[in-house]
Structure 1
């Protein structure tokens, strides 16, 4: 194995995923919470999709976007966790070069998709609160479909250059990736050439997507809060703000860990590598696990449908 890792090569057939550097001996124990979060995320998002499909009253723009969010979370889990668990349990570290780039695309693409979906949900909340009488005429099914297509195309087009640029690089240092999955910068840092274009493009994507999306979210919620504070009674204000509660929790669960992870990778050189790898993987798992819980707990229609489902089965 050592000869494979140190011999010069420009087009590696495989990469070796190291796992969590320095914590290899604890992989089996670390796999327990990872596996638990994976199961919760899969079950939770499948239940959300099932409930929305079966309940006609939930066939509305907010829940269509929620279904998109659930599908995105499922893809994020399934393109990372199976390989991660195989590393933890079976020491299966090899990944084909093309498969690595494919995984890179799907992870970053669906991360961008999730940000776009949260932005679309914010637009839905803005229209519902600031223009409630026109909500059904503004957010028609065709408009929702067009927004969904734009969100998907944006994610694909923005992220596609990352694996294409990575494929062109010569790799002659090592084929060991100090990570649990093929993260963009972790892969290109193995190249034996100038990677500034790759680095700058990755930073551009982060600033363009996260920066613009967060700005849009902030503007939307400023307008929403202004509309809420104009309501005549405290009960009306609390009730209206409550309709945004689950969406706000999902935003915090997605952006705060992601922002911290990105900062530690770019400027946190003193952060231990094992901590960064572990935290990056947790960042990919936490939103898919929490989103169905957040929307299930805070959305009365989903609660009622879930209760009726289990009550009906019990009888």
Structure 2
């Protein structure tokens, strides 16, 4: 007789999201700073978008890239806001399987696009410092549109297979608890009762081919920028040139440090307390959208002035 082969396939209708482990009783209080940070992130980034749109003097490549960065931060915040506040406010932990996959796609998409935009901004700074006279002719509107199209196409092609790779997996009936109040690819695939080698390799490929390459090229860009700046004759010129990069450098650090932290913890930090995983993930998703508008409004006088004019309802110039 032939041996019995179990060909059953289980795919859960929903997952259970986790808030902050060990602090469930304080979720109501914890929701206050979270709600405040989401409000600051959405308000600040929307102000940047309005300021750039209404101020003709800001219709330059650097501020176009900043607008896309702000748009990514808005998208990143809106991707996690409903599920996070549902858990903290209403103790609603259920998210359907397909909603989880959609949230995961948008969450990773906006994150990866932000990484690419930061790379584009480093290229912008390199051209502005190394060839200031050719800046306008190199970074034309057509070039910026092409850069944007390449960024979007790369992220869609990279992330589109992720949902299908998760849908093909067989899941354990009693294993539906996520580690966060939102869906990560690495978090969802760990709930499968199947070989996830392909998913692991796919996740590694996406990280290396997007964030990994972007961060390496940003480092190379700043090495070239530093080489150019050191060739300037006047110390004052060097300081002025580097000062134009401060906002971007801070934005890069605010984004990449949490990204690397999340990636390292998911791969090597399984022994750490669950609260550490949760806090690092929240820092990665909430802090950059909050800090980016603050960084650029403090360090960039044109942006700061344009934002104040938007708040006062004055005509832009």
TM-score, length of structure 2 as denominator length? 0.93
Tell me the equivalent position of 2:193. Answer: 192
Deviation of residue 276 (structure 1)? 0.6
**Contact 2:261-2:280 at 8 Å conserved across structures:** no
Tell me the equivalent position of 1:42. Answer: 42
What's the secondary structure of 2:136's corresponding residue? helix
**Contact 2:41-2:293 at 8 Å conserved across structures:** yes
Deviation of residue 311 (structure 1)? 5.8
Higher mean Cα deviation, 234-243 or 244-253?
234-243
Deviation of residue 29 (structure 1)? 2.2
Tell me the equivalent position of 2:215. Answer: 214
Distance 1:310 1:207 in 2: 41
Deviation of residue 306 (structure 1)? 2.9
User: For 1:171-219, what per-residue CA distance to the aligned partner results, in whole angstroms no more than 9, with x for missing partners?
Assistant: 1242221211111111111111111111121122112222211111011
Alignment root-mean-square deviation, CA = 1.5
Tell me the equivalent position of 2:177. Answer: 176
What's the secondary structure of 1:193's corresponding residue? coil
Tell me the equivalent position of 1:205. Answer: 206
What's the secondary structure of 1:177's corresponding residue? coil
Tell me the equivalent position of 2:4. Answer: none
Distance 1:292 1:178 in 2: 29
Q: Which stretches in structure 1 are left out of the alignment for 5+ residues?
A: 1-7
Tell me the equivalent position of 1:302. Answer: 303
**Contact 2:49-2:67 at 8 Å conserved across structures:** yes
Sort the Cα spacing of 1:309 and 1:91 in 2 relative to 1 into closer, same or farther, 3 A: closer
Distance 1:304 1:82 in 2: 32
Distance 1:306 1:114 in 2: 22
Tell me the equivalent position of 2:53. Answer: 53
User: What number of residue pairs does the alignment pair up?
Assistant: 306
Deviation of residue 310 (structure 1)? 5.0
Distance 2:91 2:81 in 1: 14
**Contact 1:20-1:178 at 8 Å conserved across structures:** no
Q: Which stretches in structure 2 are left out of the alignment for 5+ residues?
A: 1-7
Tell me the equivalent position of 1:80. Answer: 80
Higher mean Cα deviation, 232-241 or 249-258?
232-241
Deviation of residue 235 (structure 1)? 1.3
**Contact 2:247-2:300 at 8 Å conserved across structures:** yes
Tell me the equivalent position of 2:261. Answer: 260
Distance 1:109 1:196 in 2: 22
What's the secondary structure of 2:297's corresponding residue? helix
Sort the Cα spacing of 1:205 and 1:309 in 2 relative to 1 into closer, same or farther, 3 A: closer
Sort the Cα spacing of 1:101 and 1:311 in 2 relative to 1 into closer, same or farther, 3 A: closer
Pairing of 1:216-231 with structure 2 (within 5 A): 216-231=217-232
